[in-house]
Amino acid sequence: MSEDDATPDDAGTAAGDSASDAANEDEGVVRRDRFAGGPAREFMSSLAADRRIFDADLAVDRAHVLMLAEQEIVAEDTAGEILAALEDIEAAVDEQGYDAVLSDGEDVHEAIETAVIERVGPEGGRMHTARSRNDEVATCIRYRLREDVLDVLEAVAETREALLEAAEAHSETLLPGYTHLQPAQPITVGFWLASYEAALARDVSRLLDAFTRINESPLGAAAFAGTTFDVDRRQTAALLGFDGVVENAMDAVSTRDFLLETAGALSALSTTLSGMAEDLVVYSNRGFVDLDDDYASTSSIMPQKKNPDSLELVRAVAGDAAGAHQALATTLSGLPRSYNRDLQRAGPHVWSVIDDVASAVDVAGGAVATADWNAEACAAAAGEGFSTATGVADLLAQSGVPFRTAHEVVAVAAEDVAGLEGDDPSGGAADPDAAIEVLDDAAFAVLGESITDAVDESALRSALDPVESVASRDSAGGPAPDAVEEAIASAKADLEDDLVATVATRKSLEGAAERLDSEVSEYV
C-alpha cells in the first residue's frame, strides 16, 4: 500500500506511455526501471498483506473509472474496456487464487493496474487518471474497515443478547459479590451478567461513533494537493457508500486517526471481554459455573482436569489489542504531512486485532450462552465472609444510629460472625441466632444497649439473610430481582436500537454496492 510518485496531472498518461515495455520486460507500470531492483524491493512490498483489501481496491477502481467516464475525462469505450478487465481479474483471482494472478507489483494497486494494462493495452493506464495511490489506498482501507467493524458490531450484539437472556433466567440466582476478590455483598448471577452487557453497550457506542469517521471518502484528493481534472469526489463517495468526503486533500491522504480510534475502541472492547473471561475463570474454579466442553479442555497428562482455557485466550487478547493500539500510535506520532511510507505499516496493526477481538467476542458470548450455573454452590457462597454486614449497618442507620457508629458496631462483630460460618460443614452464612448474639455483644460494647433495642429482630434476621439482603437493595441499578428485570428491559430496548442502526448501515453499504454493480454493467 505504497504512495504514488506520479503527479496528479501525469498519473493518467505516465503508465500508458511505456505500458507495453513495462509489461514485456516484467517491470511495474508505476515505478518502472527507475527503481528496478535491490534488496529494498521485497522489504517495501505490501502485496501479500494487501490481499485483505483486494475486493475494496476493485470497488474503488470501478467507482473511479465510472466517475472519469461520467465527467468525460476518459472515453466511455475505454472505461468499458477497463471495467471489463477488472471483472476478468476478479474472476481469475476467484478461480486461480490471489497469488497466482497478482504476482507482479509492490502492492495490490500496482498489481491490478499492471493486470489491466496487460489485458487492455496502454489505454488501460487511463484508469489512474486524476488519482494517486495515496488517496486510493486510504479509500480502500476505509472501505474494508467498515465491513470489519460491522462484523464486530453484529458479533457483540449476539453476545449482548446471550448475556441478557442468561441474566433474565438468573435474576434470582444468588452469587457472591466480590471487591478485591474478597466476599463483599451478595448479588445475583443476573446482576453480574447485566453489568457486562452494560459495558458492552458502551463498547458498541464507541465503535458506532468511530464508524461515522471511518465512513468518509478520501478518493479524489490525489497525491495530497488535489488535481487539475474536473473530478466529482462526491459521486465516487456515493458509489462506494460513503456518507461524504474528507474535505481537505492533504488531510484525506495523511490521516489514519480513524484507524487509531478504531483500535482504541477495540482495545476497550477487549478489556471488557477480558474482565468477563477472568470472572468466569474464577467462578469456574470455585464451582459456581460449569463451562460447556466446547469452551474448555482437559490436561495432556492429568485426565481429571477441565480447564477454561478458551477464556484464558479471550483474556489475553486484551494485551494484543492494547499493544496494537500503542504500536499504531507510535507509528503515527510525529509524522509530517502528507503521505509517508510509514503509513504502510499502520493498517496491519488494526487488521490483526479486529480479527482477534471478533473471535474473542464469539467465544465469550458462546461460553456465557452455554454455561451451567450451580445455584446451590452460588447460594452457599453468597453469604460467606459475613457478606450481609453492610445491610445490618444500613438497618442500624435507618433506625437512627449514625452510620459511622453503626459501621463500628458491625465491624466489632464482623470477625466473630464470619468465624461462625465454619460451624456449618455445607458452608454459607452464619446461623442467624448465633450471629445476632455476637452482634448483641458488639452493640453493648459500642452503644451500651442490646442491638434489638435499636432495631426490630425480624428486620435484623432479614438483613442477615442473603436472599432478603439482595431483595432489599432495589435502588435503580441495584441487584434486587425487580431492579435487574427493569435494567434488562431497558438494555433490550437499547440493544434493539443498536441492531437497527447496524442493520441499516449494512443495508446502506449493500445498496451502494448493488448500484455500483448496476452502473458497471452498463459499460461491460
**pTM tops 0.75:** yes
Count of structural domains, the chain: 3
Asked, for residue 441, whether it belongs to a domain, the answer is: yes
Strands 182-188 and 289-290: unpaired
Which amino acid makes up residue 275?
A: G
> For residue 22, is pLDDT > 50?
no
Q: Which of 46-60, 147-161, 256-270 has the lowest mean pLDDT?
A: 46-60
Annotation says 349 is catalytic: no
Q: How many CB atoms lie within 10 A of CB 42?
A: 10
- State whether 239 and 188 are in the same domain: yes
Candidates 370, 396, 260; CA nearest to 310 is 370
Are 319 and 237 within one domain?
A: yes
| Radius of gyration of the chain, Cα coordinates, nearest whole angstrom | 31
**CATH at 95:** 1.10.275.10
Same domain, yes or no: 334 and 433: no
Instruction: Report yes or no on 99 lying in a domain.
Output: yes
Q: What percent of the chain has pLDDT over 70?
A: 90
23-27-33-39 Cα dihedral, nearest 10 degrees:
180
Final residue belonging to a domain, choices 112, 130, 148: 130
262 and 398 housed in the same domain: no
Clarify whether residues 102 and 219 are in a common domain: no
Q: Residue 510: inside a domain, yes or no?
A: no
> Residue 156 burial by CB count (10 A; 0-12/13-18/19+): exposed, middle or buried?
buried
Predicted local distance difference test score (pLDDT) of residue 11: 38
pLDDT at 29 over 70: no
Residue 448 placed within a domain: yes
* Residues 212 and 295 occupy one common structural domain: yes
Same domain, 370 and 387: no
What number is the average pLDDT over the span 38-55?
73
Its domain, for residue 396, covers: 383-472
Alpha-helical (H) ranges within 25-132 are 40-44, 54-70, 76-96, 98-101, 108-120
Average pLDDT along the chain? 90
How far, rounded to the nearest angstrom, does the alpha carbon of residue 316 sit from its chain's CA centroid? 15
For this structure, is 180 an active site residue? yes
Domain boundary among 95, 112, 130: 130
Confidence of residue 28 (pLDDT cuts 50, 70, 90): low
Q: Quick one: pLDDT band at residue 30, thresholds 50, 70, 90?
A: low
Q: Output the pLDDT for position 107.
A: 84
pLDDT digits (tens, 9 = 90+) for 479-500: 999 999 999 999 999 999 999 9
307-335 pLDDT, tens digit per residue, is 899 999 999 999 999 999 999 999 999 99
* Domain membership flag for residue 486: no
* Domain match, 61 and 165 both: no
User: In the structure grid, which three cell numbers stand for residue 464, read together?
Assistant: 442477615
Q: Residue 26: what pLDDT?
A: 43
Q: Are residues 79 and 170 in the same domain?
A: no
Instruction: Answer yes or no: do 182 and 103 share one domain.
Output: no
Are 112 and 157 in a shared domain?
Answer: no
- Do the Cβ atoms of 355 and 394 come closer than 8 Å? no
> pLDDT at position 126, please?
97
Contact between residue 287 and residue 317 where contact means Cβ atoms under 8 Å apart = no
**Domain closes at, from 354, 380, 406:** 380
Residue 164 lies in a domain: yes
Long-range pairs for 114-119 at CB < 8 Å and ≥24 separation?
114/22, 114/23, 114/28, 114/29, 115/85, 115/89, 116/82, 116/85, 116/86, 116/89, 117/15, 117/16, 117/19, 117/22, 117/23, 117/29, 118/23, 119/85, 119/88, 119/89
> What value does the mean pLDDT take over residues 163-183?
96
pLDDT at 36 over 70: no
Q: How many CA atoms lie within 13 A of 459 on its CB side?
A: 16
- 515 within some domain: no
Mean pLDDT of 370-387: 95
Handedness of CA 180, 181, 185, 188 (dihedral sign): positive
Q: What is the pLDDT of residue 243?
A: 97
pLDDT at 334: 94
On whether both 122 and 150 belong to a single domain, the answer is no
CATH number of the domain encompassing residue 365:
1.20.200.10
C-alpha cell at 472: 432489599
Active-site residue, selected from the candidate residues 297, 299, 352, 521? 299
Domain annotation covers residue 277: yes
Q: For residue 357, which of 266, 485, 262 has the smallest C-alpha distance?
A: 266
The H-assigned helical ranges of 215-255 are 233-239, 249-254
Read off the C-alpha cell for 334: 510525529
